[in-house]
Amino acid sequence: MKIELSYIIATYNRLPFLKITLEKLLAELQPGEEIVIVDGNSTDGTKEYLQQLFEQGKIHQYISEPDKNQAHAWNKAMLMAKGTVIKKIIDDDVFDYPSIRKCKDYMLQNPSVDVILSNDLSSLFNNHKTIHPDTRIPEFEKWSKGLLPSFSFGDVHMLIRRSSLSYIGLYNTAYVMMDWEYSLRISYLKANIVYYTGYNALSVAHPQTVTSSANKELIDLQGKRSAVFYEYDGDNSDMSYWSRLKIFIGKIIYRPKNSTKVVNQADIIAIYEHYYSALTEFNKNGDFKFLNSH
């Protein structure tokens, strides 16, 4: 059977979140779809959990070995993917699979499309009742009209045509904010980007988020370099809204007076059930459409 959609996951020592994400994904999986997982040699039971799923035939491709960094792991997963379309599934974020499938179908029906984005929702883990809707439509429309050489967006809701990797490339392994650099590169190269106005993902920020402890000085330096290279003048999203949000939230969470400690898996499950329900509600009655750039 031809594989139309590859769900790729790169993970390291985040088993409580990974279990929730994989259970949801496995329940939604359809024929013609595969799950590809790259584990960075975890020590928290992730390897054993994934090996069991692999032996049961529930996940289709799986490796566990040390990575150089986050971008390295994601690049391995993209190269392993066999599907016509690739969807990145981040182990601690929340996804709406009917919306993802709708975007996948649009790409299959329109072979010239390289990438599809969508609107995004975001939330702070220890304030999970508050969910913020985010959009990059104004920046996308300016870019589509040639008014911006490039624009930034988060990759949590991005779908990529696998054959387009030969043009847009893989993640830059030198970057902490790899999604920010990747978005500027894709748009600067004038890839055929389509914007879906629904929500196929909800970004969750918590203390284990990779970017929550990232070095601000390094990020600023990398940002300035990319801004010059991609002729990016800034649009109030110098590192991408989502990455900046996660850094900011990470710092807040680490302050003892503001932190809310999650003590067991049941608490995490309850919070994520709320997120999945909220994401479904956001998508239930919306009149969403695809915005073309070409």
Q: Write the DSSP symbol of residue 119.
A: E
- Coil vs helix vs strand at 172: coil
What CATH code is carried by the domain that includes residue 89? Answer: 3.90.550.10
In the predicted structure, residue 258 carries a pLDDT above the cut 80: no
Tokens, residue 278: 């909220």
Each residue's pLDDT tens digit, 111-162 = 999 999 999 999 998 899 999 999 999 999 999 999 999 999 989 999 999 9
Q: Is the dihedral of CA 188, 194, 197, 199 positive or negative?
A: negative
Given a contact cutoff of 8 angstroms between Cβ atoms, the answer to whether 31 and 60 are in contact is no
Domain holding 145, by residue range, is 5-292
The residue with tokens 């330096």 is 221
Q: Output the average pLDDT for the chain.
A: 87
Domain tally, the chain? 1
Q: How far is CA 145 from the centre of its chain?
A: 26
Each residue's pLDDT tens digit, 102-112 = 999 999 999 99
